[in-house]
Amino acid sequence: MSNLWERVERLIGSGNLDRLAEKKVGVVGLGSGGGFVALSLAMSGVSQFALIDSDELERGNITRHVADLRYVGANKAAAVADLIRQRNPDAQIDVREGLIEDNWNCLDDLDLLVVAVDNEQVKYAINEQCLKRRLRASYAGVYERGEGGDHAIIKPFDGPCYACWSEATREGVKVSLDPGGDLDYGMIGEMGTLDAEPGLWVNVTKVAGIQADMIINELLLGTSAHVEMPGNTLLVTNTYMDIIEGQESEPHTGLWIEIERDPDCLVCGERLKQSLSLLAKDDSEGISLDDLAASGLTTDIVFEEEEG
């Protein structure tokens, strides 16, 4: 490691910095949130990336993006890759200028995936691909006008999948500025995207900063630097808002909750079991990691939870 990393090394230790440098993180969607997360991870020592985005940076993006006017017209993944190399010249970056649906193979060798797209259908497709690969994934959402946001790391077959998680959060957590009002988050628009106005850069990057911090923590699982979090989901506010219906939270506060896996989930429950021809097993808990390993569906990705 060059002098570039001296201060990070002093903070987290050389062993942990080496560990982060060995990790490969994918980021799908290099918009305001995903771009900030990717750059933040690179500045914390992660040095291997897969960046996937089909969009070009437009002038209208500039006030809410890590890339500035010099990158207008460039592919967003390529622009963020360039910014990462300006911070870490040794970074190894697999840039995919296209849709994730055409680039599933770039998930094969990842340690964690950052899902920073806003299309819910694409998120569900990514969720299924992550389950197949036993790939951990980080999902963050910013509420309408940046009033707040949430974050969760989804660990396949260890807690909820994204389908279980999103169903529980949308139904169980009322996110609204006005008590008794409608959900501001989770209203799916015609294009399949969350029907919400984006927040200011300061509001988006607050959630994205938390997301990046939690990813670093997850990548350091099994080390002394890892901190056990009080729940699998964090909800944060930027202003006064009801995270839980009828309970007003103060600005810049957070609430940890635990979202359970739905044993009847169509994605991580019975349907996957069917596809693996494991129906004969009388296992109401759903499929176990051992079952999955025995099925031969995935064998390459080694989970690190056992080390803790």
**Does residue 159 sit in helix, strand or coil?**
coil
The reply to whether 287 sits near Zn ion by the rule CB under 5 A is no
CA neighbours closer than 13 Å in the CB half-sphere of residue 277: 4
CA dihedral 104, 185, 237, 145 (to 10 degrees): 100
DSSP letter, residue 256:
E
**Closest to Zn ion by CB, 82 or 128:** 128
**Contact indicator for 300, 108 with CB cutoff of 8 Å:** yes
Q: Across the strands, what pairs with 149?
A: 142, 236
Candidate list 268, 272, 287, 292; residue touching Zn ion; CB under 5 A: 268
For residue 25, what is the DSSP state? E
137 binds Zn ion (CB under 5 A): no
Rounded least distance, CB 276 to Zn ion, Å: 15
Nearest approach in angstroms of CB 87 to Zn ion is 36
The one segment of 183-191, 216-224, 266-274, 291-299 that binds Zn ion by CB under 5 A: 266-274
Does 259 sit near Zn ion (CB under 5 A)? no
The least CB distance from residue 151 to Zn ion, in Å, is 18
Expressed in percent and rounded to 5, the helix, strand and coil fractions of the chain are: 40, 20, 45
Minimum CB separation of residue 285 from Zn ion in Å reads 13
267 binds Zn ion (CB under 5 A): yes
- Exactly one of 115, 116, 135, 161 binds Zn ion (CB under 5 A); that residue is 161
Question: Considering the rule CB under 5 A, would residue 265 count as an interface residue with Zn ion?
Answer: yes
Q: Which is nearer to Zn ion, 197 or 260 (CB)?
A: 260
- Give the binding range for Zn ion (CB under 5 A) out of 33-41, 83-91, 189-197, 260-268: 260-268
Q: In what order do the strands lie in the sheet with 137-142?
A: 92-96, 48-52, 24-28, 112-115, 137-142, 148-154, 233-237, 254-257
User: What residues line the site for Zn ion (CB under 5 A)?
Assistant: 161, 163-164, 265, 267-268
